[in-house]
A and B are shown apart, each in its own frame.
Chain A
Amino acid sequence: MITAHLPLLQTLFPNIDDWGELGQACVDTLLMLGASLLLTVLIGLPLGVLLFLTGKGQLHAMPKLYGALSLVVNVLRSIPFIILMIVLMPLTYVLVGTKLGIRGAIPPLVIGAAPFFARLVETALREVEQGVIEASQAMGASTWQIVRYVLLPEARASLWAGVTVTAIALVSYTAMGGAIGAGGLGDLAYRYGYLSYKSDYMVVTVLLLIALVQILQMAGDRIVAHYSRR
């Protein structure tokens, strides 16, 4: 697609030397986003469910466990992502064998975003009517059945809204990650746009990031609308 419009793009942004590199950066960003979003949901969803269930007045209220989980989540959320990434480097190396590139970016991305998503999950589940949970208990549902068949389906719309917000947060995290060697669009913007004064790179990457966020938000809104039943 990009190649078809190359002449036009080259006239618009004459200072971009290598469109192939830009294309690769797009792919890298999308890969980082996809992989980290998947892992964030896989970790954040159960964590959010656990936060919800152990919360005050809920099915398995456990104030101490809730307090501990809550503290960990808050600590991870209060560290700015760029610092979290640096702090986590040794752990990243142990986990994936490198601190750089897409692979090196994924552990900090997930560790940064999963607590955020878990909080969104907790909030979404709290919006499920208490009466519906009580009715399921009265029908003899186990906790697992309540989570699987009541909480998650009833909160579907809010959960998808949470995934959308998290995905958009991850886009900005990946761009930040670019500054310390993660690759992707943020890396290009930083290296060429900032360090080498090639403002065309900055403009194009920013436009691409805006487009990506727009697409994510629109897709998210459509899914949310589809699942809204109230």
Chain B
Amino acid sequence: MIRFIDVHKSYRVEGKDVPALEPFSLEIADGEVFGIIGHSGAGKSTLVRLINLLERPTGGRILVGDTDITALSDAPLRAARQRIGMIFQHFNLLASQTVVENVAFPLRLAGDKDTKAIRARADELLQHVGLSVHANKYPSQLSGGQKQRVGIARALANHPSILLCDEATSALDPQTTASVLDLLAQINRELKLTIVLITHEMDVVRRVCDRVAVLDTGRIVEHGAVADVFLHPKHPTTRRFVNEALPEEAAGERLPYEHVPGRIMRLSFRGEATWSPTLGRVTRETGVDFNILAGRIDRIKDLPYGQLTLAMQGANVDAALRALREAGIEVEELAR
């Protein structure tokens, strides 16, 4: 468990305190993938760096497990950092060292002297990320996706309990992003590792995160289960992020349905409800007519979901809505 208790952070710039993160408290549970989304400058890089104290908070406490890491002196802090892996947008590999030496580096830093054991562990990690054949190449000879895999292998070397991802896929193309995210999800499943991931892409959050916090100019404006935040965004910033992932509604607040007759309803299906023909049954039974204006069926991590925007017409619309709600479908009426 990672707990932020009344944490805030400000920087001193030319004698003035400039707040980077306003006071907040937050808990990240063991084994979950926690996303922090925000635009650049929102403070997400600062927030993730508080966890391994690359950035020291101006006030408040940060508990990693049972340890208040803000209270640690130099040596225990370094030991604690060895149990917190981190990967970066620009990979930050040692250019002068080969792939296998990069992966072995944290083991050497941890004081392991047994070169055979180090090599065996590095080989095992490289196999895990599918890079065994590139062990003796230099980072400059690898593609972006391969470099990030080296970064991941390196971050896992000391059996960390937490993995921090700083915009880990932002420098990668969509396909490579997908494969790196799959690898992260796999690591999370297999190693029961807590992952804290910062990104500016809602799609990254949708694919791998269990919970998400939305950061806007130093404030956490919304947080919760990804499905809740994704399907029912409340804060304008969240809506903008969600709409980026739902391009058909990218128009934002104002819906382009002014000339459509009927009541505009948004239906959200989650889990098994996504696969059952409820809408068909209800409209048939109530004699309500509908027209699909927008829709999407996809997954939020492993949870199938659907979201339909409908124009509903007929005498029994209210009865239909009740029946839909009873069937476990979330219904909201959209203002035009």
- Is there a chain B Cβ closer than 8 Å to A141's Cβ? yes
Contacts of A39 in B (CB 8 A): none
Task: Check B96 against A140 for contact (C-beta < 8 Å).
Answer: no
Provide the residues of chain B in CB contact with A134, threshold 8 Å. Answer: 54, 88, 92
* Interface check B325, CB cutoff 8 A: no
Contact of A149 among B108, B139, B140, B154 (CB under 8 A): B108
Secondary structure type dominating chain A contacts: helix
Cβ contact within 8 Å between B52 and A149: no
B92 touches A139 (CB 8 A): no
Chain B residues lying within 8 Å of A145, measured Cβ to Cβ, are 109
List A contacts of B82 (CB < 8 A).
139-140
Q: Which of A140-162 touch B at CB < 8 Å?
A: 140-142, 145, 149-150, 153-154, 156
Minimum CB–CB distance from B145 to chain A (whole Å) comes to 18
CB proximity of B24 to chain A, nearest CB, Å: 22
- Complex: chain B residue closest to A146, CB-CB: B109
Residues in A whose Cβ lies below 8 Å from that of B110:
140
* Chain B residues within an 8 Å CB radius of A153: 94, 96-97
Distance of A150 Cα from B108 Cα, bound (Å): 12
Is B90 an interface residue, CB under 8 A from the partner? Answer: yes
Measured CB to CB, the closest approach of chain A to B246, in angstroms, equals 33
Contact between A132 and B78, CB atoms less than 8 A apart: no
* Min CB gap B12→A, angstroms: 13
Q: Is the CB of B138 within 8 A of A229?
A: yes
Q: B93 interface residue, CB < 8 Å from A?
A: yes
Q: Tell me the bound Cα distance from A164 to B219 in angstroms.
A: 52
A 118-144 binary contact with B (CB < 8 Å = 1; else 0) = 000000000001011011111111100
Q: In the complex the two chains form, is B86's CB within 8 Å of A136's CB?
A: no
Interfacial chain B residues near A156, Cβ < 8 Å? 96
Question: In the bound complex, do residue B105 and residue A149 qualify as a contact, i.e. CB atoms below 8 Å apart?
Answer: yes
Contact between B95 and A229 (Cβ–Cβ < 8 Å)? yes
Number of interface residues of A (CB under 8 A): 21
> Quick check: is B84 within 8 A (CB to CB) of the other chain?
yes
**Chain A residues with CB under 8 A of B96:** 153-154, 156, 227, 229
A residues near B139, Cβ cutoff 8 Å = 229
Taking the complex as formed, is A230 at the interface, i.e. its CB lies under 8 A from any CB of chain B? yes
Interface string of A39-58 (1 = CB under 8 A from B): 00000000000000000000
The answer for the CA separation of A153 and B101 in the assembled complex, in Å, is: 12
Q: Are B95 and A154 in contact (CB under 8 A)?
A: yes
How far is the CB of B156 from the nearest CB of chain A, in Å? 12
Known A-B contacts A131-B90, A134-B54; the reply to A139 vs B95 at CB < 8 A is no
Chain A residue at smallest Cβ distance from B151: A135
Task: Please indicate the chain A residues that have their CB under 8 angstroms from the CB of B81 in the complex.
Answer: 137-140
CB–CB B109/A140 < 8 A? yes
Complex contacts, A227 vs chain B, CB 8 Å: 96
Alpha-carbon gap, A131 to B96, bound state (A):
14
Given A138-B52, A138-B84, A140-B79, are A132 and B109 also a contact pair (CB < 8 Å)? no
Instruction: Known pairs A135-B93, A156-B96; list 12 more (Cβ under 8 Å).
Output: A132-B93, A134-B88, A134-B92, A136-B105, A138-B52, A139-B82, A140-B82, A140-B106, A149-B109, A150-B94, A154-B95, A229-B95
10 contacts between A and B (CB under 8 A): A129-B92, A132-B93, A134-B92, A135-B88, A137-B54, A138-B81, A140-B81, A140-B82, A149-B105, A229-B139
Q: Which 3 residue pairs are nearest across A and B when measured between Cβ atoms?
A: A140-B81, A135-B92, A140-B82
